[in-house]
Amino acid sequence: MHTEESIQSLRPPHATWFLPARRASPAELHATVVVACGSPLLDAVLRTVGCMVVVLNPERQIVAVNSVLLKHLGVDDPESLLGLRPGEALDCSHAQDEGGGCGTSRACTSCGAALAILMAQQTGEIHERECLVSLRRGKDLAVEFRARVVPIQVEGRDLLVLLLQDICDEKRRQALESVFFHDLRNTLTGLVGCAELLHEANPEQVAGLLPLIDTSLQQLLEEVESQRLLSLTETNEYRPVAIQGSAAALLDEVAAVLRGHRVADGRRLFVVPPSADLQLSTDVVLLRRVLINMGKNALEGTPVGGEARMGFQPAGPDVIEWLAWNEAYILPEVAVRVFQRSFSTKGQKGRGLGTYGMRLLGERYLGGRVTFSTSPSEGTSFHFRHPLTLPASDSVDGASA
């Protein structure tokens, strides 16, 4: 079985999965830095352009940067970045996957900045791509850029000017609106259909429609709450509150929500009976959202007529591990991007917030760790392990989870 870590560590066939691993010698790098720093044209670009600017040599190493990038990285000394590649300077979580560094990992084959650099070098023309970078700092949260690469020549040397425009707010808004309005429209369409049937329904038919209306309204509330929580947590405006509760009761509640969701149509959700109940003292609102995202993700990957499973088990002293499984296999080139915001294995624009949300809520706020494993023979399972007691938080008495 391939775990998330083993997928990252599969060795490339020739030192790199994508772009060349070779770097310039120290002497070559120094000579190029001198040329770049002495160029009036590049000096004007670095001083006047309002976004992050990086000048690269043919080996994709940094030879000059502007103050906007330094401020973004919190770096005072620009010389500390010289010789690094863009992903290494930005602290991309895939920059050290291979010995060759940024541009050589399996994940780099789908990196917008790497693709733009490659096309600019091959064609000698300007190329632009959107680029989503998963950061090692901040527990693998993502930053999105619009990467524009401009090939230039300075004193006979081929250089690349890489302009990075932060589009996180723009992409976040697009993703949230797309997901929210897509799901909202589907739910409201179902409610409108029920309302139309009520006009001509007899008492027996009305009684049959009421559970469907109730389920749709609960689903509508869940969708609104999901987007509200994601917005608050991404901007660090959410303050978690621990509530006492039962893990088994919470799992049953989550399963009931999922079975009433359209994603479960034609699919079965099996709850693995726990060997023993566990008592929680955590933020149940966030935990419920993580588990619902896990379950929806498992059901979405389950073929019609198939079965997904959910359960939990003790995972050490005062630690619980939740599990969601389906029989689907995630290909390695897809698996390396599973937790990135706006990425989806289903290829729908604006999707991909489920796994990203799982990691955001589960790791930043609940003190846990979200991972997955996948293989053709055993399918895919997502795991969420976290302490039974919310870290650095006071519990408050409340209703059972």
- The reported pLDDT for the residue numbered 18 is 94
- Tell me how far apart the alpha carbons of residues 15 and 49 are, in angstroms, rounded to a whole number: 36
Q: Is 2-166 CATH 3.30.450.20?
A: yes
Task: Encode burial over 2-18: b for 16+ CB neighbours within 10 A, e otherwise.
Answer: bbbeebbeeebeeebbb
Q: Is 170-234 CATH 1.10.10?
A: no
Share of the chain above pLDDT 70, in %: 82
Domain spans of the chain? 2-166, 170-234, 242-396
Average pLDDT, the chain: 84
- The reported pLDDT for the residue numbered 240 is 85
- pLDDT beyond 50 at 369: yes
Nearest to 362 by CA among 289, 281, 261, 277: 289
pLDDT confidence of 145, banded at 50, 70, 90?
very high
Backbone angles phi, psi at 289, to 5 degrees: -65, -40
pTM: 0.55
Model pLDDT for residues 198-219, shown as the tens digit of each residue: 888 888 888 888 887 887 787 6
- The reported pLDDT for the residue numbered 336 is 66
- pLDDT beyond 80 at 333: no
- pLDDT beyond 80 at 379: yes
Q: How far is CA 355 from the centre of its chain?
A: 6
> In CATH, which of 3.40.1280.10, 2.60.200.20, 3.30.565.10, 3.40.50.720 is domain 242-396?
3.30.565.10
Q: Give the contacts of 229 (CB within 8 A, at least 6 positions apart).
A: 238, 285, 286, 289, 361
- Tell me how far apart the alpha carbons of residues 356 and 293 are, in angstroms, rounded to a whole number: 9
2-166 and 242-396 agree in CATH topology: no
- The reported pLDDT for the residue numbered 57 is 98
Q: Give the contacts of 241 (CB within 8 A, at least 6 positions apart).
A: 283, 285, 393, 396
Only one residue has tokens 């969708």, namely 223
Only one residue has tokens 């790199």, namely 16
- Tell me how far apart the alpha carbons of residues 132 and 138 are, in angstroms, rounded to a whole number: 15
DSSP structure string for 73-139: HT-S-GGGGTT--HHHHHTBTTTTSSTT-TT-SGGGGG-HHHHHHHHHHHHSS-EEEEEEEEBTTTT
Q: Tokens standing for 50?
A: 């309002």
Q: Let me know: does 350 contact 170? Beta carbons within 8 Å.
A: no
Model pLDDT for residues 149-202, shown as the tens digit of each residue: 999 999 999 999 999 998 876 665 666 566 567 667 777 887 888 888 888 888
